[in-house]
Amino acid sequence: MSLSRQLLSCHSRGFRVPLPGTALLVSVCLCAGSALGGVFPSIGGTPTETDEDVFTSSEGDWEAVVYSYAFVGADEADDVPQGLPDPIDGQTLFAYVPQMVDTATASVDQFQVGIPFGDLVLVAGHSETILPEPGFVEEDRQNPSGTQVSLPALSVTYLYNGDFSFDAGEFSVLYFLSEGVPGQVPATMRGGASVTDEQEVLGPIPEPASGVILIGGILYAVLTRRYVGRVRSLGRVSGN
């Protein structure tokens, strides 16, 4: 678990340790905040889980921090940031705040979140009203030029083209509503001379029970196919 996730876990889920350990946990969280150079930004609501990742160009001409948020199911619907779609039972709202560092000398033209298990994406877009706090200003907001969802849903791509290029110091508030539960999925950011960096961010994965059913179904299909093939083979032998 990253330091930022520990910090947010302390903030959003409360302290669930005996009193003697509480002081130590508070100390760890404060150290985590100091190590990160600031407080994890809030976009409103109460996220179920959060994460922080850094994307960098191999050419050294840009760097971006991506803050990830997950809001799970009907129980969390009242805690979703205002203006974003409410997830119902069996759904998760994922939100992302990518922010370019001030020293970037090249632009980013694409941020893509992979959905390796093909979980259904119900809606995807960006917010023009949510202002993360603290430390974000409206003048630095850069909305993407478009959003693409591949079919079947294997990725959600946010594009920054032309006048919508993602430059130094700018940020966006992105989101999509999906089935599945929060897990680690691959994400890529591209900029400069088609330079791409890949990290893992929060994204949808199947529920554990669904994963077991899926694996069981695959094994059943494989075993059934082998059984049918064996029966047919024995039939041909007996026929001879």
Give residue-wise pLDDT tens across range 72-129. 987 666 689 999 999 988 899 999 999 999 999 999 999 999 999 988 899 999 999 9
Rg from Cα positions in the chain: 22
Other beta carbons within 10 angstroms of residue 141's beta carbon come to 18
The CA distance from 50 to 34, in Å, is 18
128, 59: one domain: yes
119, 27: one domain: no
23, 100: one domain: no
With tokens 């850094």, the residue in question is 54
Handedness of CA 63, 115, 159, 39 (dihedral sign): negative
The tally of domains found in the chain comes to 3
With tokens 């020293």, the residue in question is 103
Residue 60 has pLDDT above 50, yes or no: yes
- Type and span of the H or E element at 110: strand 108-114
Q: Can you give the residue range of the structural domain that contains 4?
A: 1-40
Which pTM does this prediction carry? 0.73
138, 165: one domain: yes
93, 80: one domain: yes
